[in-house]
């Protein structure tokens, strides 16, 4: 019995010890669970904070992306503006160059036109003041015209002389009642034909000076050509006495130089 009680007491002690161990284990378990819960709660808080931080970082990243896109848009706009400004500047330079060239061409054309107008005015003034008179004098003083006019006058006089002679012969025939012989007239019956030929020669007269004038008028420098033909520069001829006088004057100058004291 004693042994049984001792065994029971020993078992009860072991049970009590086991209960303590179980309680201790339970306490350790509860503490571990509490610490684990605390750690989990801390981790949750950390995760929440990380989520908040990640959300903030995402927001900042999104803002940076938007800013970057905005900067890219602004940069493209600035590039487009620069390209447009450069293109506009280039076009303005081209327009300016074209305008300058056109202005230079217009000024050159105006200068050329003004020079042509001045030349035409001067040529017209010379033609009015001297050219027409010189052409008229050249025609009137042409030897060919003198010859044709002299021939025409002689032929006309001959025809008039023969006409008067024949008229007088007719009057004499009527007065004396007999026909008067006209074969003694110094002018033959060819006078009319000679006058016709003279008139034809006068009507179809070709003057060399007029041929030169007509040919000169076909050229752009017609005025210069007409001046050369009609109004050549006057050549001053020096006589032998004037040449000798000039030589004597030069000799006197040399002598005068020799008389000067050195």
Strands (E), 26-154: none
pTM score above 0.75: no
Higher per-residue confidence, 162 vs 88: 88
> Please, which residues have CB within 8 angstroms of residue 80's CB and are 6 or more apart in sequence?
none
What tens digit of pLDDT does each residue of 180-218 get?
A: 655 655 556 667 777 788 788 778 777 787 888 888 888
Which tokens sit at 37?
């819960």
Residues in CB range of 152: below 8 A, 6 or more apart: 195, 198, 199, 201, 202
pLDDT-derived band at 124 (thresholds 50, 70, 90) equals: confident
Whether 259 has a pLDDT exceeding 50, the answer reads no
Residue 200 CB coordination number (10 Å): 10
Tokens encoding 60: 């900042």
- pLDDT tens by residue, 52-106: 888 888 888 888 888 878 877 877 777 777 777 788 888 888 888 998 898 898 8
Q: Can you give the pLDDT at residue 248?
A: 56
Q: What DSSP element (H or E) covers 262?
A: none
What is the predicted pLDDT for the residue at 208?
81
Please compute the mean of the pLDDT values over residues 211-227 and round it to a whole number: 82
d(CA 155, CA 193): 9
Q: Rounded CA gap, 235 and 145, in Å? A: 27
Give the pLDDT of residue 45: 76
Cα–Cα distance for residue pair 168/63, rounded to 1 Å: 141
pLDDT of 257 strictly over 50:
no
- For the residues 234-248, what does the mean pLDDT come to? 61
Looking at residue 168, its pLDDT comes to 74
Tell me the Ramachandran region of residue 99: left when phi exceeds 0, alpha when psi lies from -120 to 50, beta otherwise.
alpha
Assign 134 a pLDDT band (cuts: 50, 70, 90): confident
């Amino acid at each position: 019995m004693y042994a049984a009680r001792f065994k029971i007491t020993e078992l009860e002690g072991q049970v009590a010890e086991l209960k303590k161990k179980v309680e201790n284990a339970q306490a350790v378990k509860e503490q571990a669970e509490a610490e684990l819960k605390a750690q989990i709660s801390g981790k949750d808080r950390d995760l929440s904070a990380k989520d908040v931080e990640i959300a903030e970082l995402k927001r900042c990243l999104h803002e940076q992306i938007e800013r970057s896109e905005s900067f890219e848009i602004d940069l493209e706009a600035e590039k487009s503006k620069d390209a447009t400004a450069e293109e506009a500047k280039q076009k303005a330079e081209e327009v300016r160059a074209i305008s300058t060239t056109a202005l230079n061409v217009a000024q050159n054309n105006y200068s050329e036109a003004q020079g042509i107008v001045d030349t035409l005015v001067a040529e017209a003034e010379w033609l009015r003041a001297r050219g027409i008179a010189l052409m008229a004098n050249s025609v009137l003083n042409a030897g060919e015209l003198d010859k044709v006019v002299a021939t025409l006058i002689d032929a006309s006089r001959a025809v008039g002389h023969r006409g008067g002679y024949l008229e007088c012969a007719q009057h004499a025939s009527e007065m004396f009642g007999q026909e008067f012989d006209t074969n003694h007239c110094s002018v033959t019956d060819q006078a009319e034909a000679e006058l016709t030929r003279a008139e034809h020669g006068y009507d179809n007269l070709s003057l060399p000076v007029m041929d030169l004038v007509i040919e000169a008028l076909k050229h752009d420098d017609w005025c210069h050509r007409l001046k050369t033909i009609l109004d050549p520069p006057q050549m001053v001829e020096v006589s032998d006495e004037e040449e000798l006088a000039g030589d004597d004057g030069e000799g006197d100058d040399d002598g005068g130089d020799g008389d000067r004291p050195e």
